[in-house]
Structures are given as structure tokens and as C-alpha cells.
Amino acid sequence: MVTKDDACWIIGLSAGAGIGVYLDGGWGVDALVGRETRAHNDIDLFVQRGDYQRFVDLIADEGFSEVAASFTTEDHTVWQDEAGRIVDLHCFDFAENGDILYQGDRFPGEVFSGRGRIGEVEVSCIDPESQLLFHLGYQHDEHDVHDVMLLCREYGFDVPEEYR
């Protein structure tokens, strides 16, 4: 589990080292609405390739080690400490025009334009519309349903067909 205090601590570590992070997933949704709405198994972070190794070294110094998962790749790794806190880490690049390059896909730079808050910590995250779109087209669980319904309620989006 990654609590609000854990999330703020991890984000604070990166900020203290001058490493920018962008929240995705459940904590990204909760940051957008400005409050914790459910328990979180992990924290999903995007880190720019130029800072990726420094971030990995930073969390490794804090007792995190890489764990294998069925979905891990060179640019998508999972890190866990002995307390069971999990960082789901995504490595990306910015293209010259500001687009986001991640695992062979290209996304508009505006995807990272979301701003939110976890406790008293202001964070950068995936924007609300992109969060909703990234929740489509796969087998979702109860956390996905919660996050999508929350985004639709808070931002006035129509509930996607696959969540009805």
C-alpha cells in the first residue's frame, strides 16, 4: 500500500533531487480531485529518461528494489521496499515538438498538463481527459471503475460505454 504520506514522501524525494515526476493511475486521479478517495496499491510515476537513472538510484538508496512483473519492460519497471510500498515507474522522452514518447507511442505534450494536490503537496499529473481515455480498452477492475466514475462526476464527462 502507498498511503497519502508515502506518496508525498516519494514525490518530495524526487523534488528534493530536482527530478520532475508526473502522476498517473489512482494517485493521479485522486490528485486531480484534490483528495484521497480510495486505498492505493502503488504510485504510478512518469520520469523523463534523462532523470530516470537518478530517480532509480534515489529510491534504491531508500530501500526499494526492482521486482519482476508480467508487464515490465525497459521503460516500465516496478520497485518495492520492505514495507510493501510500490512505485510503478514509467520512463519517457519529450520529442522536439513537446510530444511525449513512451514505449513506441506518441502523445500530445498536454497529457502532462494536469495539476493536482496530494495533501498539501502540489503535483503534476496526467490531465483529466487523458486519464479517462487511458482507462479504456482493457479489462478493468474495481479501482478502474471507481477512478472513471470519479473523473466523470468531478469533470462532467460522459461515462464511457464500457463502464456502464
pLDDT, average across residues 90-96: 97
Domain boundaries, the chain: 4-127
Can you give the pLDDT at residue 29?
A: 98
Can you give the pLDDT at residue 36?
A: 96
Mean of per-residue pLDDT scores for the chain: 97
* Enclosing H/E stretch for 27: helix 25-33
- 112-150, pLDDT tens digit by residue? 999 999 999 999 999 999 999 999 999 999 999 999 999
Q: What are phi and psi of 97, to 5 degrees?
A: -85, 5
Can you give the pLDDT at residue 1?
A: 94
CATH fold of 4-127 reads Beta Polymerase; domain 2 (3.30.460)
pLDDT, average across residues 2-19: 97
E strands, 68-159, are 76-80, 86-94, 100-102, 105-107, 114-118, 121-125
Q: Beta-carbon neighbour count of residue 132 at 10 Å?
A: 21
- SS3 state at 7: helix
* Of residues 103, 130, 102, the one with CA closest to residue 114: 130
- 100-117, pLDDT tens digit by residue? 999 999 999 999 999 999
Can you give the pLDDT at residue 113?
A: 98
